[in-house]
Amino acid sequence: MTADPAALTRLAREVLETEASAIAALTGRLDGGFTRACELMLGCRGRVVVTGMGKSGHVAGKIAATLASTGTPAFFVHPGEASHGDLGMITGEDLVLALSNSGETSELVTILPLIKRLGVKLIALTGKPGSSLAKTADVHLDVSVAREADPLGLAPTASTTAALAMGDALAMAVLSLRGFTHEDFARSHPGGSLGRRLLLTVEDVMHKAERIPSVPLGTSLSQALMEMTRKGLGMTAIVDRSGKVAGIFTDGDLRRTLDKQVDVHKAKIDEVMTRDCTTAAPGMLAGEALHILESRKFNGLLVVDEDKRLVGALNMHDLLRAGIV
């Protein structure tokens, strides 16, 4: 069979438009029920147990993952397994969020009496407000759709999209109520780039001890250049007798020095260094150091303690290796 590009594009457009319309229709149904659902989730002292069968189950798993990563402890329970022992995973302090387009999924209906016996609050997302699941729930959210997006009107498409969008709306509303921050998100995602930017500090990535390029005041420019070459950071710190930073000399300073035809063999580093240089603190977030480098168009930073003593150095390559950039 030869594919008709125009027909495929037309079908894809119809699918996307149908699903977009299904999501748009949800906005008009946001009422006190949505608010009540958010309050129940926020007040839950246990965990949010998300459940659903078939395609709704896949959506439920994603919603559980989204909740868990945004400050609401949650996990997915398969309703079929729940009636064969996994119901023991649910405690009286938990909250159940159940998904079923028909609201009559037998595996869910079977465990409803057991959930109610535990005194667990139940939020239901269904496409049938008059269904068994909807009537049993403490809060029902209507995620019905006018039609599915597939040409046969059978495969769960628009309905699962609508349920997923409503789950995201719940998760984001509760996230806002919790005052969930970038730092909280990073702690849940330490392996991601955002986690690295928000959790790693300058001290975690900087060069320390003998790896720090440094020369004392009074050093000849030629010796300072040799120190820069040995340490390979494109700069060197200039420190006084107490170890405090008196200035910095960088590759850029070298170019400007050569433009002035300064004799590198006779000049002292004190004559050509940049005084009052920008520095970082060891406890500064690496992401903040990156912002300084990018905004000031620097290639490196010296790191000093509270007494302005030199304790480290870093450049853009260090941040790249750490996955901050």
Whole-structure pTM value: 0.64
Q: Tokens for 109? A: 């209906």
Find tokens 């995973």 and name the residue. Answer: 89
Question: C-alpha distances in angstroms, 85 versus 94, 246, 284?
Answer: 17, 69, 49
What burial letters (b/e) apply to 206-235, b meaning 16+ CB within 10 Å? bbeeeebbbbbeebebeebbebbeebebbb
Q: Please indicate whether residue 186 or residue 69 has the higher confidence score (pLDDT).
A: 69
* 8-state DSSP, 147: S
Contact 69, 189 (CB under 8 A): yes
CATH of domain 5-180: 3.40.50.10490
pLDDT 10s digits, 309-318: 999 999 998 8
**Residue 15 confidence (pLDDT) above 80:** yes
Nearest to 217 by CA among 200, 236, 241: 241
Fold exhibited by the domain 199-321: CBS-domain (3.10.580)
Ranges of each domain in the chain: 5-180, 199-321
Nearest to 44 by CA among 117, 95, 87, 89: 95
pLDDT 10s digits, 244-296: 999 999 999 999 999 999 998 899 999 999 999 999 999 998 888 988 999 99
